[in-house]
């Protein structure tokens, strides 16, 4: 038995009599919350995003919404009996209207109305040091992009001519033809989907309405960005031909490898070498941090690979207030190239120490003895 579908109004969190603007606001809020790009690897969010899209696709269309309000999900069920034959439901203008969403994916639109083409999105990569990523900064960029033609102001036409509506498609950019039971839309061959044409195109842009330029743009980079973090600047992409919406600019960040710190999310890892005497007797050491110095206490008897954590001394968090931690991994260095006096003192140290001060080594050898004693039985 298939799972019952959730009510479309409940999915969007709106009342049944909601206005078109209320539907759009609810959809934008939910689409932003559950978008796969903002929830990578989250299957539950991806599924909910698809359901929200499906609900908005129906409720944003007046005819489909009327059908849904009267018959619910049954209006779009293949085996419900609605919409088949003369005796069935006739809420749509023709049979092909029920499949507008499908044909839009395959042919670029239903042909009933046409929106101007949107400009192309642009993506650029910026390389930052770890310190720059920590603090954030403002940077000026040179962006090669398409701008509105300065001569025709984006119209694509010379001063004395205007754009004319395409007589073949009546300005829709699409032509329809029947194939079996379906009415299918295809791009108009005369205007190439533009819906209009220019009899005397602008000499500077050839009628496109755009020209290549390099724009200098100031970008505010927030603190805490990481490798592959993306900053979206709405409307800063390529200008669209014939008055469409411009695309967006995506700034992708790459963080240089740091000579001291290793980044792990919002935390930083620092590998600290200490001497044999410091680890044995304890010490207080000044260590570097991403934005200064800090005092670190080494306790007596600190072992190799001990991890010490300094709270809020890591990276600035991009998603949350505050900072991550600085994790210090302690490595005890064994002395090398000892002179005769140092060797003599260490031998004396070993002689008087016995095994009482080395609980880890003593425990290890006791386990070895027990293991071989068990093998001999």
Tell me what pLDDT residue 79 has: 47
Residue 80 in this model has a pLDDT that exceeds 80? no
Please give the pLDDT value at position 352: 84
The residue ranking higher by pLDDT, 76 or 131, is 131
Mean pLDDT, rounded, for 257-268: 95
- The tokens for 349 are 């140290």
Answer whether residue 191 shows pLDDT above 80: no
CA-to-CA distance for 30 and 10, rounded, in angstroms? 12
Please check whether the domain covering 122-255 is classified as CATH 2.10.230.10.
yes
Task: Give the homologous superfamily in CATH for domain 261-332.
Answer: Urease metallochaperone UreE, N-terminal domain (2.60.260.20)
188/195 Cα distance (integer angstroms): 8
7-32, pLDDT tens digit by residue? 888 888 988 888 888 888 888 888 88
Per-residue tokens: 149? 């033609």
The answer on pLDDT for 112 being more than 50 is no
pLDDT band at 87 (very low <50, low <70, confident <90, very high): very low
- What pLDDT sits at residue 185? 72
Strands annotated E in 242-332: 249-255, 261-264, 267-274, 283-289, 292-298, 307-310, 326-332
Query: Is the model's pLDDT at 46 over the cut of 80?
Result: yes
**Long-range own/partner contacts, residues 289-297 (CB < 8 A, 24 or more apart):** 289/313, 289/326, 290/130, 290/131, 290/134, 290/261, 290/314, 290/315, 290/326, 291/131, 291/134, 291/135, 294/326, 296/272, 296/328
Structure tokens at 33: 């919350």
Task: Look at 160 and 85; give whichever has higher pLDDT.
Answer: 160
- Which residue in the block uniquely carries the two structure tokens 């809420």? 91
pTM here is 0.55
Structure confidence at residue 270 (pLDDT): 95
| SS3 assignment, position 23 | helix
Give the residue range(s) of CATH 2.10.230.10 domains in the chain.
122-255
Q: Using alpha carbons, list the distances in angstroms from residue 289 to 212, 261, 295, 311, 341.
A: 45, 9, 10, 12, 38
Task: Place 183 in a pLDDT band, splitting at 50, 70 and 90.
Answer: low
Contacts (Cβ under 8 Å, ≥6 apart) of 95: 83, 181, 182, 183
Domain 8-107 has CATH 3.40.309.10: no
Q: In which band, very low, low, confident or very high, does the pLDDT at 363 lie, cut at 50, 70 and 90?
A: low
- CATH 2.60.260.20 spans which residues of the chain? 261-332
For residue range 193-234, list pLDDT tens digits in order.
Answer: 777 766 777 877 777 778 888 989 999 999 999 999 999 999
Cα–Cα distance measured from residue 194 to residue 171, given in angstroms and rounded to the nearest whole number: 8
Which pLDDT does position 102 carry in this prediction? 37
- Please give the pLDDT value at position 179: 54
């Amino acid at each position: 038995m298939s799972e019952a579908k959730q009510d479309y109004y409940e999915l969007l969190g709106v009342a049944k009599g909601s206005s078109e603007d209320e539907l759009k606001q609810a959809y934008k809020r939910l689409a932003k919350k559950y978008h796969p790009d903002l929830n990578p690897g989250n299957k539950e969010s991806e599924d909910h995003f698809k359901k929200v899209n499906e609900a908005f696709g129906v409720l944003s269309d007046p005819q489909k919404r009327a059908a849904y309000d009267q018959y619910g999900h049954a209006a779009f069920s293949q085996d419900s009996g609605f919409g088949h034959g003369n005796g069935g439901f006739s809420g749509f203008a023709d049979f092909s209207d029920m499949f507008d969403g499908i044909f839009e994916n395959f042919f670029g639109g239903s042909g009933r109305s046409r929106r101007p083409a949107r400009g192309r999105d642009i993506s650029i990569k910026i390389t930052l040091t770890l310190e720059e990523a920590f603090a954030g900064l403002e940077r000026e960029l040179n962006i090669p992009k398409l701008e509105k033609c300065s001569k025709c102001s984006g119209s694509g036409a010379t001063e004395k001519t205007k754009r004319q509506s395409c007589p073949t498609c009546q300005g829709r950019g699409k032509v329809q033809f029947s194939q079996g039971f379906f009415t299918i839309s295809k791009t108009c061959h005369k205007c190439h989907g533009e819906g209009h044409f220019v009899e005397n195109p602008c000499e500077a842009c050839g009628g496109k309405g755009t020209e290549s330029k390099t724009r200098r743009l100031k970008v505010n980079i927030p603190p805490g960005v990481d490798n592959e973090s993306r900053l979206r600047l709405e409307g800063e992409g390529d200008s669209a031909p014939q008055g469409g919406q411009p695309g967006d600019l995506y700034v992708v960040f790459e963080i240089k490898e740091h000579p001291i710190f290793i980044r792990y999310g919002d935390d930083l890892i620092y590998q600290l070498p200490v001497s044999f005497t410091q680890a044995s007797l304890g010490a207080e050491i000044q260590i570097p941090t991403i934005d200064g110095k800090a005092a670190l206490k080494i306790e007596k008897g600190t072992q190799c690979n001990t991890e010490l954590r300094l709270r809020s001394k890591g990276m600035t968090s991009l998603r949350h207030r505050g900072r991550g931690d600085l994790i210090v991994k302690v490595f005890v260095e064994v002395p090398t190239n000892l002179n005769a006096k140092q060797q003599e003192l260490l031998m004396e140290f070993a002689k008087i120490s016995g095994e009482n001060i080395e609980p880890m080594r003593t425990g290890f050898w006791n386990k070895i003895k027990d293991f071989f004693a068990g093998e001999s039985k």
